[in-house]
Each structure stands twice: as C-alpha cells, then as structure tokens.
Amino acid sequence: MLLGCHVSMSGSAMLLGAAQEAVSYGANTLMIFTGAPQNTRRKPISQMKITAGHQFLKQHNINRIMGHAPYIINLGNTKSLEKYQFAINFLHAEIERCDALGIEAFSLHPGAHVGLGVDSALKAIAAGLDEVLAHTPKVLIALETMAGKGTEVGINFEQLAKIIDLTPHNDNLAITLDTCHLNDAGYDVKNNFDEVLNEFDRIIGLKRLAMIHLNDSQNIRGSHKDRHANIGFGTIGFTALNYICHHPQLVNIPKILETPYVTLQKNSKKAVAPYAAEINTLLTQKFNPNLMNQLSLL
C-alpha cells in the first residue's frame, strides 16, 4: 500500500527536507508543492536539493513523488487573456520543475468559470492544457475532482471527461480523486465507494487515476464547501476511508493525506502534523476516537 502525505519543500533544505519530513511520519510516498501554494514565485531548480533528496528517498525505499499546483492557477478564466496566458506559461514551467524533481503526477485544480459559464471554462481549460501537453512532458497532469464551491468546474466525472475529450494531446492527462471533494460534490463515498469507483471507471477509466487525496470532510454530502477533516473525525468516517485506503483495485495508487494540523490546547498559535498518527492508524486499521485530542495535548 502506498500511503503518504503532503509535506513542505520550503526553506533551504527543499526536496531533502520534504523527504526527511515524510519519512519521519512513516510515509512511503509524498506530495509537494514546488513553492508556496498561494503564489507563483519559485526558486531555481539548481537550489532545490534534488540529488540529496533523491539519495535520502532511495535509502528509505521511496520512489513515488507526487506534486500539486498552486491554488491560484485558473485555466477556466479567460476574462483576461494576459492572465490566462500567464497561467499556461507558468504551468509549462511548473511541469519542467516537476520533471527535474522526479515527480510522476502533478495534481491540478481544473479552474473556475468566474461567471463565464461551465462550457466556456471546460473549453478554456482543455485549450490551455493542450498547449502544455503538446510538448509531451513525462509528468502526468492529474485534474483533481472538486467540491463545487463558488464557480469551480471539475465537480463531476462528466465535466472531467469532457476536458479530457476536448484536449487533443491527452495521453498524459490523468485524474486525482479527493475523497473530501467527492463527498462535498455529492458522491456517496461513505456508503457506496465501490459504485463511485465503478462510475469513475465507466466515465473516465481507472487507467487515468494517478493518485487519491485521502481526506475526511467537515461537511455533509453534497454541501459543495470543501473543508477537510482528520481521518475518522468527519462525516465520511474511518470505516469508509480505511476501506478506500486498503481497496484491492487501488493497491498501486498513491494515497496522500491532506488533513488539518491539530491545534495545541496549551498554545492555540501552534499546531502539530497529524500524519504519523493517521498513517499508523490506517496501517494498523485501528481507529482511536481520542487521537486528535491526544495530539492537541502534546
């Protein structure tokens, strides 16, 4: 089973630091941003400690690295053609960084139509992606399933399939399934994940599944809000998420935790990562209902 988490590549240690953090949690895969998630400023590839990072990962038998695009990239917005072209150019450069870092799949929020309509956004996203994919990168661009807040698109399998169909160079176009987003979009992840997976296979195809973001949700099914919760402490629940984590059809698919840090009771300005505890819980399949409270007391 491939189970890891989202770790930081900030500071001077860059990929080496991210690798060390992931290993400290007991992860055997990981996901990184190439820089800050809320902006497009990026360090030169030469400063990313790539060789040292890969040496450390090899020592710990980790060879699957996932990536994530910054949240501010919106290929669905063509109100400003200058900003739209900037997003395409940035994505092209980001794929080059991912290739240098050894990232195999790069999760991308498809975008939002910002009032222009869903069909307009789907066509714009496909056209932008095609500009990048025409260069046949080694890295997969994995469109992420979205919760549907605001004017987001990619909120159902049909919309994602349409983007793929509208993209001529789509061989390296893949999908990220986010369990929180699926739940909030209306899919019955909690009670009938097999049917959700079968529907995905019918409409898009399991061969395009690159990774799973394994998150609980703070919201009821169909709320369209996108608020992640810790594993077993949300509306999806531990039983369903544990089932997904150990699903026989998903053995070779990296599962990435993006769950919230836990605020310390003694100091509300500090928080601790829950990943080591959550990874252990999923590996042992033993849920502790007091786990987050115990972490908050550290």
Q: Where are the domains of the chain?
A: 3-296
Is residue 54 a known part of a binding site?
Answer: no
- Say how far apart CA 108 and CA 31 lie, in whole Å: 12
CA angle 122, 133, 105 (to 5 degrees): 90
Q: Whole-model pTM?
A: 0.97
Is residue 228 a known part of a binding site?
Answer: yes
CATH topology of domain 3-296: TIM Barrel (3.20.20)
Q: What is the DSSP letter of 263?
A: E
- Say how far apart CA 68 and CA 106 lie, in whole Å: 5
175 by Cβ neighbours in 10 Å (0-12 / 13-18 / 19+) ranks as: buried
Is residue 92 a known part of a binding site?
Answer: no
Instruction: Note the residue count of the chain.
Output: 298
- Say how far apart CA 39 and CA 35 lie, in whole Å: 8
38 by Cβ neighbours in 10 Å (0-12 / 13-18 / 19+) ranks as: exposed
pLDDT of the chain, 298 residues: tens digit per residue: 999 999 999 889 999 999 999 999 999 999 999 988 888 899 999 999 999 999 999 999 999 999 999 988 999 999 999 999 999 999 999 999 999 999 999 999 999 999 999 999 999 999 999 999 998 889 999 999 999 999 999 999 999 999 999 999 999 999 999 999 999 999 999 999 999 999 999 999 999 999 999 999 999 999 999 999 999 999 999 999 999 999 999 999 999 999 999 999 999 999 999 999 999 999 999 999 999 999 999 8
Is residue 135 a known part of a binding site?
Answer: no
Is residue 82 a known part of a binding site?
Answer: no
